[in-house]
Chain A
Amino acid sequence: MPDTVATPAWLLRPEPGLCPCGCVGKRRRGSFVAKTIAGAGGVLQAALFSEDVAREPGLLQRLDARAKVVLLVALLIGVGLVHHVAVLVAAYLATLALARASALPLGFFVRRVWLFIPIFTGIIVLPATLDVITPGEVVIPLPFGLGVTRQGLVAAATITIRVAASISLVLLVTLTTPWARLLAAVRALGVPRLFVLVLGMAYRYLFVLLSAVGDMYVARRARTIAPERDARSGRAFVGATAGALFGKAHVLADEVHQAMTSRGYRGDARTLDRFRIGAADLVAVAAAATCILLLIGGDRAL
């Protein structure tokens, strides 16, 4: 190894920076890679935010995670059995009231529910509004002899509101329960321990790998001077990143296994489950049972 570093001459010369005339270049929109990475960053922030919300002193936060998971399943079945839009709207409004009582920001809660409904549910239910799928009284005539029927609109609204109420119920539980407690609750309710362990570790290392992707992209961007004109370089980056991530994940998986073995893991993980069913949990279960009865009873009465 040489005693001194032989610095090449070009490294000692300053590079031209901004144009001396002070002109500025064109601005270009970010590539699909930038948007994807920003989205990944958003996932991290949302997870951090939801962990903080889960520790707020709200109504649902006080309940035992197991009770919440049981209630969630029961209420989902209840909502699935309801056929009238008015009852479903009432159920959805009840989820909003619960969100409010649990210190969840309503705007965030509503956006999170309704962001994906038009994309996924809308595509499925829109054709069902047409008279060729759901015959009935045409209320909106369309070209080519088609029309939107009242029965079709009711069916679409029923499905949409049912999906919104169901997603809201899931969000209520996931946003008011720390991830670790939720996993422990699922485990306590009989889901195989190994499955829950793998699920927990997958979620844990999702953040490590997302962070690695972000770092790789920032490192690339810091050295990118020319604007990305086409998607080809973006695709090349995605390919290279996927390869590098695969390697990193492989090394990490090896190390994680060694860390587990080092602390006595021999293939049968034992976990710390600490649950106490309190009076509040029993009251919540009773209230939920009443709600389900009211939902189904009201639906039958209409």
Chain B
Amino acid sequence: MPCEPLLRCRDLRYAYLERFRALDGVSFDVETGETLALLGANGCGKSTLLKVLDGLIFPTAGTYRAFGHDVTEDHLEDEQFATAFRSRVGFIFQNTDAQVFSPSVREEVAFGPLQLGIGRDEVEQRIADVLAMLEIADLADRAPYQLSGGQKKRVAIASVLVTNPDLILFDEPTAALDPRTQQWLLELIVELGRAGKTIVLATHDLDVLDWVCTRCLVFSEDHRIVREGRPDEVLDDRDTLLAANLIHPHAHRHGRLVHAHPLAADHSVIDHGRPLTAAASNALERDRTLGTISV
């Protein structure tokens, strides 16, 4: 009998207030140790799906199994199952203000392991280790309102990593972060993946897919999965990315980077609407001839 995947979703459907559809027949598996990217435009249902995967909301139809068990509202009422599930799944919300709710960083990081019944001495040790790992040990006694956006994101990550989950869910992890913090966070995700964690992240940052993810799911704006594949396969599927509203019709790629000239269907007018200089036109023509730019 083949081994069951870590997560198995079949025909998941969800609607807010029973009117506003967010998921419409979503089916996929997640294997242990993979890093899966959920790609899609705003409002396509990525965040809703992450909340379903974390057992925070429950699909109106379809089935969701995690670690070989059905995840339902009824099952999560069971204390033993809930503790086992919560200790194996960590969720890093997009809105760090919602996630960082305790009066101090130390109490925030301690919250998860204490609820899961880990002993106080071990909790203290884990807090020290995870704060040192994320380079925020000096913030331990700070209040959340004294932290910058990047620091709050680190605290949110620390508060999840401290429970040592097998599966980590990231909702738009790099949104509203400065480039340096984005880079740090992406490197951390890669490191966690190498350490054997299973990661599911919702994003529309196409530039980092190759580097960070092992597989991608593309969501259409009508809340279905329209493409599944390796990052290079998905990035090469321009028609799907266009249909999913993930790239603009004027977008093209330099190597693996997707790049858009907002005013130009024609490369003769890309410099803020002004005609290009002869030298710039020649350089572009040379690139086009060499095949490094495709329109």
A residues lining the B interface (CB < 8 Å)? 1, 3-5, 44, 47-48, 51, 55, 178-180, 183-184, 200-201, 203-205, 207-208, 252, 255-256, 258-266, 269-272, 274
Contact = CB atoms under 8 A, between A and B. Distances in A.
Interface in B78-104: 79, 82-83, 86-87, 89-91, 93, 95, 97-99, 101-104
Contact of A204 (B116, B144, B245): B144
Given A180-B103, A200-B103, A255-B98, A263 B115 contact: yes
Q: How large is the interface on B (under 10, 10 to 19, 20 to 34, 35 or more residues)?
A: 35 or more
Nearest to B76: A261
Contacts of B97: 208, 252
B101 A178 contact: no
Interface string B182-217: 000000000000000000000000000000000000
Given A272-B107, A272-B120, A259 B141 contact: no
B249 interface: yes
Contacts of A265: 111, 115
Given A263-B112, A264-B115, A178 B98 contact: no
B102 A264 contact: no
B254 interface: no
A179 B103 contact: yes
B143 A179 contact: yes
B160 A252 contact: no
Interface string B120-148: 10011000000000000000011111100
A291 B117 CA distance: 44
A261 B141 contact: no
B120 to A, nearest CB: 7
A270 B141 contact: no
Contacts of B106: 180, 272
27 contacts: A4-B265, A51-B142, A51-B146, A179-B104, A180-B104, A180-B106, A204-B101, A208-B97, A255-B95, A255-B98, A255-B99, A259-B99, A260-B101, A260-B111, A262-B86, A262-B91, A263-B86, A263-B111, A263-B160, A264-B83, A264-B115, A264-B163, A269-B115, A270-B114, A271-B107, A271-B114, A272-B124
A185 B101 CA distance: 18
B69 interface: no
Closest 6 pairs (CB-CB, A-B): A264-B115, A255-B98, A180-B104, A263-B112, A180-B103, A272-B110
Given A180-B103, A256-B98, A266 B141 contact: no
B51 interface: yes
Among A204, A205, A208, the one with the most B-chain Cβ atoms within 10 Å of its Cβ is A204
B250 interface: yes
A264 B110 CA distance: 12
A4 B263 CA distance: 7
B30 to A, nearest CB: 18
B56 A264 contact: no
A189 B103 CA distance: 18
A200 B102 contact: yes
Contacts of A208: 97, 145
Contacts of B90: 262-263
A259 to B, nearest CB: 4
A252 B146 CA distance: 19
Given A259-B98, A263-B112, A51 B87 contact: no
Contacts of A4: 263, 265
A290 B227 CA distance: 77
B206 to A, nearest CB: 18
A109 B169 CA distance: 47
B90 to A, nearest CB: 8
B141 A264 contact: no
Contacts of A1: 245
Nearest to B262: A5
B159 interface: yes
A178 B115 contact: no
Given A3-B249, A259-B101, A266 B115 contact: yes
